[in-house]
Amino acid sequence: MLLLMIFIMLRVVFLGTGGALPTVNRNPSSILVNREGELLLFDCGEGTQQQMMRARTGMMSLSSIFITHFHADHVLGIPGLLQTLSFHGRDAPLTIYGPAWVEQFVKLVSLLGYCRLNFEIKAVPLEAGDTVQREGYVINAIASEHSVPSLAYSLVENDRPGKFDRRHAEELGVPVGPLFSRLQKGESVEVNGRVIYPNEVIGPSRKGRKLIYTGDTRPCEAIIKASKNADVLIHDGTLAQEKADWACESLHSTAKEAADVAQKAEVQRLILTHISSRYTDDSSVLLEEAKEVFENTCVADDLMEFEVPYGKQ
């Protein structure tokens, strides 16, 4: 079997990994997803645009901002980012998605700084269960549990084509060359008076990748269900287990609780973020507690990049 060579970039850049307070090592929450050159921003804490510059991600290809909730540490970077985009000559619309109050937020942002933007900002309110359709993938809004209206998000790619069986195609008389490409594109071809159909030489479709970003949340069933078999789960891991009572009171998660979610959802990889300033110099306790439950865990650092791999299928 010959693998159909279609690889789409899906890169995550952690622009801000801190909890409510910025520290010298961690900016407030912001995660950038680069899918084959299209930039998607999930939350936008203060300093996000500078982090984008440091990481050399670019910003003019930003198509959307997805806000999990409207606590200040998740949105204060938006006004400056919008003005910078305008100064750089952006004229394409930008869509900001978020839970209840996103429309009011966009109106307020538009009034800040006496700066008239050169492009339109579209506000789209979402509720849990809503889906944003994009070319080749969807963004799903997921119920989360925090102290204000909040959402988690999943990015789920469309299924990929199956594997191409070159040997069988040759046995059927298909010559190497353009007819291979047509079969791989789903077209039938005729060889020596016989029609060869794609399903004769191409295996069943394969699942696309799935990426989950929880924002601030308690562990909850909706996120476990949405994360089932995800390639990457980026979960609130604010506190160590010794602060479990405070995590419960403030509606955040401990690292161990995030690992429990990862284990129940059978994800491939867990990445902890929204790290409390208590651990800004040493987050090893969070990593150790999570790994006791779910081994394939790491703690995100600012400017860390991660390429989401294709699953083995």
130 is in an annotated binding site: no
Tens of pLDDT, residue by residue over 145-204, are 999 999 999 999 999 878 888 888 888 888 988 888 888 888 899 898 899 888 888 888
Query: Directed axis angle between helix 255-265 and helix 284-291, to 10°?
Result: 30
Among the ranges given (19-33, 84-98, 108-122, 256-270), the one the predictor scored with the smallest mean pLDDT: 108-122
282 is in an annotated binding site: no
Which residues does the annotation mark as catalytic? 73
**116 Cβ partners below 8 Å, 6+ apart?**
none
Tens of pLDDT, residue by residue over 236-287, are 999 999 999 999 999 999 999 999 999 999 999 999 999 999 998 999 999 9
168 is in an annotated binding site: no
Residue 172: CB atoms within 10 A of its CB come to: 16
Distances (CA, A) of 238 to 204, 215, 267, 272, 299: 41, 11, 20, 8, 10
Q: Where in the chain is the domain with CATH 3.60.15.10?
A: 10-160+206-307
146 is in an annotated binding site: yes
Question: pTM of the prediction?
Answer: 0.90
The phi, psi pair for 201, rounded to 5°, reads: -130, 0
Q: What is the mean pLDDT of the chain?
A: 93
Fold of 10-160+206-307: Metallo-beta-lactamase; Chain A (3.60.15)
252 is in an annotated binding site: no
Residue 297 CB burial class (10 angstroms; 0-12, 13-18, ≥19):
buried
